Amino acid sequence: QVQLVESGGGLVQPGGSLRLSCVASGRIFSINTMGWYRQAPGKQRELVATITNIGTTTYADSVKGRFTISRDNSKNTMYLQMNSLKPEDTAVYYCNAAIRSNPIAPFTIYWGQGTQVTVSS
């Protein structure tokens, strides 16, 4: 019954900015690490950024200094602020989260449906 829903994608010119959101809903007891992945046509899905439940972050080298991942635990929401966007950032961006529905359940990995980001002049 857990769902992850991304939003905020769209068409933007090179150098522009977008802010993606991912909202988790349903039977949620706790959320551990969350992350953003992306997949461009003809390429493998790649990790963009992760954030732990205490706020520790990691970034792919290709987005360091341009993207910022954050989360609001009270809202079960994660964000990806994307600045100085480049054409090579064009991809479908997916939300990922490890979630358990009760305190004795194992964590389960969930994926959102994806949101399209297109960077083009």
What is the reported pLDDT for 1? 83
Copy the structure tokens of residue 47: 């990790």
What is the reported pLDDT for 17? 98
**Whole-angstrom distance, CA of residue 27 vs CA of residue 52:** 20
What is the reported pLDDT for 76? 97
Weakly modelled stretches of the chain, pLDDT under 70: none
What is the reported pLDDT for 47? 98
